[in-house]
Amino acid sequence: MVTNIQGRLQNEINAVAQIHFYIRRVIEAGVKSTMITPEGRTIVGEYNTVLDRWRDTFADKFFDMSMAIRLGTAIEICLRTYYMHRKSYSTLIDLRNDARCKKGIFQRVQNWQGANGVISLYIDEIGYDLTTNPHLLAIQEAMMHRHLYAHSSGLLDDEYIDKIRQITGEDIRTHPSLAQSNYPAEDVYWFEPLDRLNLHIEEARRFFRQFPS
C-alpha cells in the first residue's frame, strides 16, 4: 500500500492511464481479430470484424468518453485526498464536518467558480494557490470535457463552447468539423477532445507532481 501523498495521487491517475494506454489496446486487438460470420452480418450489417462495427458505430469514441469522465473523477479524488492530507483529516466524516467543503467542490476547478470552487478553498484553507501551478489550465480544460461527457453525453451546447473559449482561447465554432455541421439546429457530438486524451492524462500527472509535499 502506498502511504506517501504523492504516491497516492499518482496511483489514482495511473489507474486511468492503465485502462487507456494498455487495456484499451488489448480490447481493440481482440475485437480486430474477431471475425463476423455471414450469419452475423445479416444482423449487424456488412462488417468483416467486430472492430469495423465498433468504429463505425462510434463505440470506440464512447469508450474513450468514459475514460475522459473517469479522468475527471480521478482529478476530483486527488484534489480531495490532498486537501484531507493537508488538513490532517483521517476520515470522510472529518471532511463532511468541514463547512467549506460543499458537495462537488473538488470538481469545481474553474476561475469563475469563486468561493464555491476548489481554487478559493485551497488558498484559504491550506495556503496553496492552484493558479501558480503551470498545468492548471490543462486540468480546467479536462474538467470541462468531463462535464460535457458526463452530463450531455458529448452533445455540444453554447455554454460549453463559451467556457472552453474562456479557458483555452479557442472558439470551436470555427473548427472545420463544427463549421460543416448544422449546429445548433441539430445535435452534434463533440469527439475532438478525445484525440488528446493521452495529453490530458499526462497533464494530470504533471499537475499533481507540482503539489507541495
Nearest to 98 by CA among 107, 86, 109: 86
Percentage of residues in the chain having pLDDT higher than 70 = 99
Give the SS3 label for residue 155. strand
- The 10 Å Cβ neighbour count of residue 59 is 14
Nearest to 86 by CA among 206, 2, 6: 6
Residue 74: is its pLDDT beyond 60?
Answer: yes
Q: What is the CB-side half-sphere exposure of residue 45 using CA atoms within 13 A?
A: 8
Is the pTM higher than 0.85? The answer reads yes
Q: Based on the structure, what is the number of domains in the chain?
A: 1
pLDDT (tens digit, 9 = 90+) per residue, 95-152?
999 999 989 999 999 999 999 999 999 999 999 999 999 999 999 999 999 999 999 9
Q: Residues 127, 120: contact at Cβ < 8 Å?
A: no
- For residue 84, is pLDDT > 90? yes
Q: Which one-letter amino acid corresponds to residue 159?
A: E
* Digit-coded pLDDT (tens) for 38-64: 999 999 999 999 999 999 999 999 999
Mean per-residue pLDDT for 154-161?
96
Inform me whether the pLDDT recorded for 2 exceeds 60. Answer: no
Task: Check residue 3 and give its pLDDT.
Answer: 65
- Residue numbers of the domain that contains 87: 5-209
